[in-house]
Chain A
Amino acid sequence: MSTPVSLDLHGTDLPDMKLRKNSLWRMRFQIFCRNKIAVVGACFVLLLVICALFAPWITPYSYEKGSVLEAFEKPSLAHLLGTDAIGRDVFSRLIYSLRNACIVGFGAQLIELTLGLFIGAIAGYVGGRTDSILMRVVDIVYGFPSFLLSIILIILLGHNIWAVLIAVAATSWVGMARVVRGQVLTVRQSEYIDAARAMGANWWQILTRYVLPNSMGPVLVAAAFGIPANMMVESGLSLVGLGLQPPTPSWGSIIADGQKGIFSYPYLLVYPSLLFAITLLSFTYLGDGLRDAFDSREA
Chain B
Amino acid sequence: MLVYVIRRVGYMIVALLALTLITFFLMKQAPGSFLTINIMQSGLQTSGHSSYSMDVLQEWSERYHIGEPWYMEYWGYLKGILTWDFGTSFQYPNTPIMSLLVKAFPISLGIALSSIILGLLISIPVGIFAAMRRNTWADSGAMFFSMLGTSIPAYILAVFLIMVFSLYLHWLPSMGWRDLKNYVIPVLALALPMTGSMSRYMRTSLVENLNKDYATTVIAKGGSKRDVIYRHVLRNSLIPLITIIGPHLAGMLMGTVMIEFMFGIPGMGQLFNNAAGSRDYPLIMVSTFLYTLVIMVMNLLVDIIYGLLDPRIRRSGMSD
* B247–A178 touching, CB < 8 Å: yes
* A280–B204 touching, CB < 8 Å: no
* Chain A residue, CB-CB nearest to B287: A145
* B313–A143 touching, CB < 8 Å: no
* B30–A152 touching, CB < 8 Å: yes
Q: A280 — which chain B residues lie within 8 A by C-beta?
A: 147, 150-151, 196
Contact with A along B85-113 (1 / 0, CB 8 A): 00000000000000000000000000000
Q: Given the interface contacts A148-B284, A151-B30, A178-B247, does A140 sit within 8 Å of B15 by beta carbon?
A: yes
* B15–A255 touching, CB < 8 Å: no
Main secondary structure of the interface of B (DSSP, over half): helix
Q: B200 — which chain A residues lie within 8 A by C-beta?
A: 221, 225, 284
Tell me the chain A residues, 105-143 only, with Cβ under 8 Å from chain B: 127-128, 131-133, 135-137, 139-140, 142-143
How distant is A263 from chain B, measured CB to nearest CB, in Å? Answer: 9
* Number of residue pairs spanning A and B whose beta carbons lie under 8 angstroms apart: 154
Main secondary structure of the interface of A (DSSP, over half): helix
Contact of B312 among A128, A189, A255 (CB under 8 A): A189
* A145–B23 touching, CB < 8 Å: yes
* A143–B291 touching, CB < 8 Å: yes
* Chain A residue, CB-CB nearest to B318: A127
Contact stretch, chosen from A55-63, A73-81, A180-188, A203-211: A180-188
* B156–A143 touching, CB < 8 Å: no
**Is B177 engaged at the interface, CB distance under 8 Å to the other chain?**
no
Give CA–CA (A142, B23) in the complex, Å.
12
**Is A88 engaged at the interface, CB distance under 8 Å to the other chain?**
no
Q: Given the interface contacts A132-B7, A186-B313, A297-B211, does A262 sit within 8 Å of B240 by beta carbon?
A: no
Contact with B along A138-158 (1 / 0, CB 8 A): 011011110111011001100
Contact with A along B228-242 (1 / 0, CB 8 A): 000000000001100
**Is B227 engaged at the interface, CB distance under 8 Å to the other chain?**
no
Contact stretch, chosen from A4-12, A16-24, A160-168, A269-277: A269-277
* Chain B residue, CB-CB nearest to A259: B156
* B159–A139 touching, CB < 8 Å: no
State the B residues within 8 Å of A (CB): 7-8, 11-12, 14-16, 18-19, 22-23, 26-27, 29-31, 140, 143-144, 147-148, 150-153, 155-156, 159, 196-197, 200-201, 204-205, 208, 211, 239-240, 243-244, 246-247, 250, 254, 272-273, 276-277, 284, 288, 291-292, 295-296, 299, 306, 310, 312-313, 315-317, 320
**Is A37 engaged at the interface, CB distance under 8 Å to the other chain?**
yes
Q: B11 — which chain A residues lie within 8 A by C-beta?
A: 132-133, 135-136
- Contact-residue bracket for chain A: 35 or more
Give CA–CA (A256, B272) in the complex, Å.
22
**Is A28 engaged at the interface, CB distance under 8 Å to the other chain?**
no
**Is A281 engaged at the interface, CB distance under 8 Å to the other chain?**
yes
* A148–B244 touching, CB < 8 Å: no
| Max chain A Cβ within 10 angstroms of own Cβ: one of B16, B153, B205, B313 | B153
* B295–A139 touching, CB < 8 Å: yes
* A259–B273 touching, CB < 8 Å: no
Q: Given the interface contacts A147-B276, A148-B276, does A217 sit within 8 Å of B153 by beta carbon?
A: no
**Is A175 engaged at the interface, CB distance under 8 Å to the other chain?**
yes
| Max chain A Cβ within 10 angstroms of own Cβ: one of B26, B254, B273, B316 | B26
* B151–A186 touching, CB < 8 Å: no
* B15–A136 touching, CB < 8 Å: yes
Contact of A281 among B144, B240, B277, B299 (CB under 8 A): B144
Q: B272 — which chain A residues lie within 8 A by C-beta?
A: 145, 147
Give CA–CA (A284, B29) in the complex, Å.
39
* B22–A140 touching, CB < 8 Å: yes
Contact of A218 among B155, B204, B312 (CB under 8 A): B204
* A148–B144 touching, CB < 8 Å: no
* B153–A225 touching, CB < 8 Å: no
| Max chain B Cβ within 10 angstroms of own Cβ: one of A148, A179, A240 | A148
* B201–A218 touching, CB < 8 Å: yes
Give CA–CA (A139, B276) in the complex, Å.
21
* A148–B30 touching, CB < 8 Å: yes
* A143–B19 touching, CB < 8 Å: yes
Q: Given the interface contacts A127-B316, A221-B200, A273-B156, does A148 sit within 8 Å of B23 by beta carbon?
A: yes
Q: Given the interface contacts A132-B11, A284-B200, does A143 sit within 8 Å of B288 by beta carbon?
A: yes
How distant is A286 from chain B, measured CB to nearest CB, in Å? Answer: 13
How distant is A121 from chain B, measured CB to nearest CB, in Å? Answer: 14
Q: A228 — which chain B residues lie within 8 A by C-beta?
A: 151
* Chain B residue, CB-CB nearest to A175: B247
* A178–B30 touching, CB < 8 Å: no
**Is A291 engaged at the interface, CB distance under 8 Å to the other chain?**
yes
* Chain B residue, CB-CB nearest to A127: B320
How distant is A257 from chain B, measured CB to nearest CB, in Å? Answer: 11
Q: List 10 A-B contacts (CB under 8 A).
A: A133-B11, A136-B14, A142-B295, A143-B19, A148-B284, A151-B31, A156-B29, A186-B313, A255-B156, A291-B204
Tell me the chain A residues, 256-299 only, with Cβ under 8 Å from chain B: 256, 258-259, 262, 269, 273, 276-277, 279-281, 284, 288, 291, 295, 297-298
Give CA–CA (A218, B22) in the complex, Å.
32
